[in-house]
Structures are given as C-alpha cells and as structure tokens.
Structure 1
C-alpha cells in the first residue's frame, strides 16, 4: 500500500510540475520571449516545483519519523 501511495504522489508532483512548466513557457512566449528563452523559463519553473516538492517531502518525513 505504501509503494502505491508513493508512486501516485510522485506522478501527481510530476504532472503539476509539467503543467507549471507549460504555463510558464506559454506566458513567457506571449510576453514576447523567443522560443529558447521561453523553454529556459519553463525548465526553471519545472525544476522549482520539483525542488519544492522534494523539500516538502523531506520535511514531512523528518516530522513523521
């Protein structure tokens, strides 16, 4: 049961990160950024969401242990 919960949570975090990256890239392109710049901003947003999720997971693991 625990493995299933971890896999589902990981999948949810990845989906949210991808949606955030797509939104950031689209907004950057609508703002007049070139495609490479918009892709860079999308990658930074994706990395930020993954980093935030990892940090939150480690804090929760520390508190629950």
Structure 2
C-alpha cells in the first residue's frame, strides 16, 4: 500500500476562485435571461406612460 503525502491528499478538484467565477457567470446569465424575458413588458409600460402624458400630466390624471 502506497503512503499518500499531505500535499497529494489535500489537493482540491476545484479551487475557490473557480467556484466564485462559475457562480458569477451563472448569476449574470440568469439576470440577462430575466431581463430579456421582461423587455416586452417594460416597453408596454413605457408606451402607457407616454400615452398618459408622463411626469407633467399629474393634474390631468388623478
């Protein structure tokens, strides 16, 4: 039976930095997917906002 030294036994398969980079990439991807999915709704809300007159029409539309 071969003796395993401390250096060989303690090597992780994935480093902490790689895990953080993977998490950041996943979070960025999910954020972009959500943003792209919500764009039609944001455009619709912007059109409604423009039709009601925007900020300067507060006295006309209660």
Would the TM-score normalized by the shorter structure come out above 0.5?
no
Normalised to the residue count of structure 1, the TM-score between the two structures is 0.43
Structure having the larger proportion of residues in helix = 1
> Which of structures 1 and 2 has the larger relative contact order (alpha carbons within 8 angstroms, sep 6+)?
1
Flag the structure with larger Rg: 2
TM-score (norm 2): 0.45
